[in-house]
Amino acid sequence: MNTNKRRYKRFTIDRINVIGKMLFANSVDIIDISAGGISLKTDKRLNIGGDYVLKLKGKEGLISMKCTV
């Protein structure tokens, strides 16, 4: 029986070198990512409903996006 009730499949990014950055956060660890969102861990408290800018940097370049918790 499949207990995963997520709408989109989650993918870990441990095989590719992607660095996450957020304003005022010293550490942003990307846990996994999907078409519907991203799971991350940071040393900054993120408020539910709050809007934040997340930057993902990899060998292909930099992506900056507005995110809501």
Q: What is the pLDDT of residue 48?
A: 95
Distance, CA of 28 to CA of 42 (rounded, Å): 5
Instruction: Give the pLDDT confidence of 23-54 residue by residue, as tens digits.
Output: 889 999 999 889 889 999 999 999 999 999 99
Q: Is residue 59 part of a domain?
A: yes
Q: What is the domain count for the chain?
A: 1
Domain of residue 46: give its range: 19-68
Q: What is the pLDDT of residue 60?
A: 87
Q: Is residue 52 part of a domain?
A: yes
Q: Is residue 12 part of a domain?
A: no
Distance, CA of 30 to CA of 32 (rounded, Å): 6
Q: Is residue 64 part of a domain?
A: yes
Q: Is residue 32 part of a domain?
A: yes
pTM for the model: 0.76
- How would you classify the pairing of strands 37-42 and 51-58? unpaired
Distance, CA of 56 to CA of 66 (rounded, Å): 11
Instruction: Give the pLDDT confidence of 1-24 residue by residue, as tens digits.
Output: 455 687 888 888 777 788 899 988
